[in-house]
Amino acid sequence: MLLVFFIGFLTCCSALFSNYYESYTGKRISVEEFKEHVKRNTSFWCTNEILPCNPHEGRRLDGSCNNLKYFTIGASHTPPYRMLPPYYSKGPMGFEPKLTKGGEEMPLPRAVRTSVLLEGHIPNLEFTHMLTHFLVFIVGDFVSLQDTVTYIIWKPYCCSERGKKDYACVPNSIPNDDPIHRFSDIRCLNMTRPESFQSAGCTPNTTVPERAVSGTPAFDLSHVYGSSMKVLNEKGRMFQKGLLKYEVENGKIWPPSTKGPNLCYANQPPRETRCHDTPEDGLNTILGGNLMAVWIWRYHNAIATALGGVNPCWDDDRLFFTTREIVIASIIQIFYYEVLPLIMGRENLINDGVISPDLGFRDIYDDSLAPQISIEYPFTWRWMHTVQEGNVKLYDSKGYHLNDLKLVNMTLRTGYVAENIDGITQGAIRQPMAKFDNAVDFDMAEVVLGPHQRASDVFTNDLAKNRYFFLAPYIKYREYCFGERIRSFDDLSHAFEPERIELLKEKYKDVEDIDLLVGMWLEKYIPGGTVPATFYCIIAHQQLRSVVSDRHWYERPNRPNAFTLDQLLEIRKFTIAGLLCAVGDSITEVQPKAFLRAGRGNEMINCKDIQQLNIMAWRDSSCRKNPFG
């Protein structure tokens, strides 16, 4: 009788409290309130369904329960935090970008950009194009591409009369003396407001708009596996041997291809037809993300197959989720221990606690720190647009140059990638990326979106979004990072070359007006690295927070389903060269440090000499047959 009462009580409580939460506030809402969101078409951004946490379970797809104290924080669609308070102006229509210290409009983003960034092509003699491909992919793990899709597909009209009536449209004006468009009739670059919890209808207009993204804030490959178990089960899992669904075409393994309407608008049929039908559509967009997604899809299945071979008693669920943990850890290992030291300086990262100097475990978890990313973090990565090479070179496996293609024409064109992936992959490890300087690729500065827009400037858009994210002025971050007190342009003499300070003075009347991004465009690099000092500060701050706040961080010995020491040591071996040799197209030899160009001390070697994971470290002794049974 008591059991019947207890079950009835739980049922009643479940109906009363539900498992629905506001994504912005984390407040629990009733089923009726959730249904109201469905009626208003706001449930996608404004609500999350979160089941009760189990402290012994592994990493959830939706990111919830990463922190058992703040279990809603860390889920997809939850807000970032801010390193510094927002700076903005209040207008009749709501929150708008801040005015200058003198109360005037800030200088036009396009005018600032063309004044401080040169246009030209200077190759980097050290790094390969593989570095930018990887970084494009990794950034996709914690952002959304809905803003780009919005102004490419849904609102391409912001520079027209129609756009003047649409509050979502915030196009960038081009001055009449523009160095490029003075010779054309183009005086406007299309752009829409960043998606926010306010624009999505989650918060009232009286609150500062905060960025809304669909990815989780953890490094968990949510842009590959998705952030919804329902969607993963429908589009991703094969439910056999731990595998992801796949297709084989021309002897190559691919993620499943959609047969209906899709995002690959730039495909040129009948030859170009492939478009990934995966848990996240964003993998069809930018070339680097597309390449890495295909390789990780294959890598998952390769690991699952190997695990099943050594552990025949494991069921599909155990194979799948163990494989997912291995794949996530492998990619984080590449990011933290191979990529970041190259651009930020290994000793810098060790000194700041971002990476460990040792191969073993490290356990620096702090459950008082919510698993979030700062709004500044993904924005700061936009600085890397300045080193994006616009020309993609295709090579054969012997190193002979085959062809060139325009990177800007590859967005939403998965079909072309599928047809040419061998040449693109060979080019990724042979072609130099653009040099770390303030010269930017012409196509990135004037075209960017290929056939999707008549003209576009990624750097102007980035600067405009600097303001629409309401980021604090550059000098405030300089003060935050380095404890400096900056009152005049002269106080920046140690951070900039003299001629670059003059460029700043030409566009900004007061030192406090300098935009964060513009400061990073012109700033001196961090000693020991090849990135601006403030860039280093913001990125390193987040990389450390991500380690400390992630209950499931792969280097921790005490997390649920933790690796053994032998397993962690296998993860430590993994490199981008190992990934390419395992699943890369036509890769039979590669330089061991594939983010660096081949040369003395980094000569190309046969893939059989590149270290791979020894899956025997995951062998389950209980799977062995009992010879006496």
CA distance 519 to 503: 11
Q: Where are the alpha helices (DSSP H) in 142-204?
A: 146-149, 161-164
Nearest to 411 by CA among 465, 435, 447: 447
Given the DSSP bridges, would you call strands 247-249 and 118-119 parallel, antiparallel or unpaired? unpaired
Provide the 10 A C-beta neighbour count for residue 560: 13
Greatest CA separation found in the chain? 88
64, 220, 289 from 60: Cα distances, Å: 6, 9, 23
Contact (CB, 8 A) for 117 and 459: yes
* Distance in angstroms between the alpha carbons of the first and the last residue of the chain: 44
Query: In this structure, what token pair is assigned to residue 405?
Result: 């293609």
Using only the alpha carbons of the chain, give its radius of gyration: 25
CA-CA-CA-CA torsion sign (164, 166, 172, 178): negative
**Bridge-partner residues for 95, per DSSP?**
90
The answer to whether 37 is a known ligand-binding residue is: no
CA distance 322 to 618: 9
Provide the 10 A C-beta neighbour count for residue 33: 14
Amino acid identity, residue 250? N
User: For residue 326, what is the enclosing H or E element?
Assistant: helix 316-334
Give one DSSP letter per residue of 114-128, joined into a string. HHH-EE---EEEEEE
Backbone conformation region of residue 353, classed left if phi is above 0, alpha if psi is from -120 to 50, else beta? left
Contact (CB, 8 A) for 520 and 535: yes
Task: Give CA 429 to chain center in angstroms.
Answer: 21
CA distance 547 to 92: 42
Task: Give CA 427 to chain center in angstroms.
Answer: 22
User: For residue 177, what is the enclosing H or E element?
Assistant: none
Annotated binding site for heme b: which residue ranges?
A: 385
Annotated binding site: 385
